Amino acid sequence: MTSKPGAPGAHGERLEIVRTSERLQQIGDAWETLWEHAGALVFQSHGWVAAWWHAVPDPERRALAIVLAWRGDTLDAALPLATCRQHGVRVLEWAAKDYSDYCDVLLRPGVDPAVVARMWDYVTADGGFDAAYLGHLLPTATAAALTHRASGLTLHPHHRQATSLRVVGPWTSGQAWFDSQSGNARRNYRRALKNLSEGASVEFRRLGPDEPLGPALNRCAELKRAWCARNGLVAPLFDEGSPMLQALAQVLADKQLLHVFVLERDGVIVAITINFVQHDTMMAYVTTYDATFERSSPGYILLFDYIRWAVDHGATSIDFLCGDEDYKYRFANQQVTLASFVGGRTLLGKAALQSDRAWHAIQTYRSRAQQKSSRTAPPSEDQRAGAEAVSDR
């Protein structure tokens, strides 16, 4: 079912809820024009959301609920939402949220932000969900205004937060950034590179624009699957046969944002990072390495090299995106907390949120009790062992 735009409301806009793939395709040009005018991140582009929708591995659990605000034939705002059924509860959330580090509404410059509240009221009145969850919101997110409203579906702060770590300049050159690192960090880099280069040729490079993406993406997915297996994790983005990684990377390539960096040993990729650049910021979307060479820290070498490359090519910051892995703290000089908000629409949704709060309180209590008891206990072997971390995506 597709909700067509109705007659203009009291504020002059026509609101629409997109629920079908056909309508999603029809609005592509208008959405991309809005995205370009707004100067938003690629996560809010039509290409990103459409790529996710066409490659999503579990479409039977999901439905589109994208809210649009039109003024004539001009798209003024897009609220990219979708529903997902989780344990019998229908949750309204950001479209493509599992693959988007920063989520937000898309608003044309000069348009009254109050339209976002009206769009929210429109979709909540239309129904089709039990609870709402809006996460990965930067402090500057336009959608954060929805949490300050007294009417409509009320959103409350949620305990689930995300951390974004960044390296922020500016620097005169990549070498200047490298020289600003501690002596121990620089020595570790040189030592790792020497170990990795022993008996082999090691090369850092950026994939050229004419090189096929497939082999590098397949290698990336292969290494990430191995990492997930070692750590008992599941990451659908890297499932064998899944088209998602290829689809999202192609969006970045089509928008000329994609930068794939590799560290090769005798021509074989031992570390890889899939990055993109917007607003003079290098953003590290996926990073992984070959555990066979873990003692030589290929991921550590690659990170040093691509940061230097980014600075030399005009980047004023390097954003590691979501995740608070240890390796990011070694380099980051800025930390940003991403908020999340929830609201219950039906009795089932409200009960699910209450159960979630109770579970979180219990887990918090247990965690504090364990920390208290471990203060006097010697560290375990696992706690003492260091490991080179990779992206949590």
For every residue of 324-355, DSSP letters joined together read --HHHHTT-SEEEEEEEEEEE-SHHHHHHHHH
pLDDT at 390: 33
Distance CA 339, CA 33 (A): 28
pLDDT at 310 exceeding the cut of 80:
yes
Level-2 CATH architecture, domain 1-162+336-393: 3-Layer(aba) Sandwich (3.40)
pLDDT band at 6 (very low <50, low <70, confident <90, very high): low
Please determine whether the domains at 1-162+336-393 and 170-315 fall in the same fold group of CATH. yes
Q: What is the three-class DSSP state of 378?
A: coil
Question: Residues of 233-261 as b/e, b for ≥16 C-beta within 10 angstroms?
Answer: eebebbbeebebbebbbbbbeebebbbbb
Rg for the chain (alpha carbons), in Å? 23
For every residue of 59-125, DSSP letters joined together read GGGEEE-EEEEEETTEEEEEE-EEEEEETTEEEEEETTGGG-SS---EE-TTS-THHHHHHHHHHHH
Distance CA 315, CA 321 (A): 15
Reading the block at residue 381, the tokens are 């072997």
pLDDT at 243 exceeding the cut of 80:
yes
Q: Is the peptide bond before 209 cis (omega within 30 degrees of 0)?
A: no
Residue 62: beta bridge partners? Answer: 84
Report the predicted TM-score, pTM, of the whole model to 2 decimal places. Answer: 0.90
SS3 of the chain: helix, strand, coil, percent, to 5: 40, 25, 30
pLDDT at 240 exceeding the cut of 70:
yes
pLDDT at 133 exceeding the cut of 80:
yes
Give whole-number Cα distances, 387 to 84, 141, 312, 332, 381, in Å: 35, 34, 29, 18, 12
With CA atoms as reference, report the closest residue to 31 among 83, 87, 69: 69
pLDDT at 80 exceeding the cut of 90:
yes
pLDDT at 380: 40
Distance CA 291, CA 26 (A): 45
| Residues in CB range of 23: below 8 A, 6 or more apart | 2
Give whole-number Cα distances, 281 to 217, 252, 314, 320, in Å: 22, 14, 9, 10
User: SS3 sequence, 232-290?
Assistant: CCCCHHHCCCCCHHHHHHHHHHHCCCEEEEEEEECCEEEEEEEEEEECCEEEEEEEEEC
* Diameter of the chain measured on Cα atoms: 73
The string of pLDDT tens digits covering residues 340-382 is: 999 999 999 999 999 998 988 888 878 787 777 766 555 443 3
The string of pLDDT tens digits covering residues 248-304 is: 999 999 999 999 999 999 999 999 999 999 999 999 999 999 999 999 999 999 999
Please state, rounded to an integer, the average pLDDT across all residues of the chain. 91
pLDDT at 101 exceeding the cut of 90:
yes
Bridge-based pairing of strands 317-322 and 281-289 is: parallel
Angle of helix 214-231 versus helix 244-254 axis, rounded to 10? 130
pLDDT at 363: 86
Q: What are the boundaries of each domain within the chain?
A: 1-162+336-393, 170-315
Angle of helix 46-55 versus helix 28-38 axis, rounded to 10? 130
pLDDT at 10 exceeding the cut of 70:
no
Give whole-number Cα distances, 284 to 113, 154, 331, 352, 354, in Å: 30, 34, 13, 34, 36
Q: What is the three-class DSSP state of 206?
A: strand
Q: What is the three-class DSSP state of 387?
A: coil
Which residue in the block uniquely carries the two structure tokens 């892995």? 325
pLDDT at 148: 72
State the amino acid at position 185 in one-letter form. A
- Mean pLDDT, residues 236-250: 96
Distance CA 323, CA 101 (A): 9
| Residues in CB range of 340: below 8 A, 6 or more apart | 133, 134, 135, 136, 137, 157, 158, 160, 161, 162
% of the chain at pLDDT higher than 90? 82
pLDDT at 333: 95
| Residues in CB range of 79: below 8 A, 6 or more apart | 66, 67, 68, 105, 106, 116, 119, 120, 123, 143
pLDDT at 1: 41
Regarding the domain with residue range 170-315, which homologous superfamily does it belong to in the CATH classification? Gcn5-related N-acetyltransferase (GNAT) (3.40.630.30)
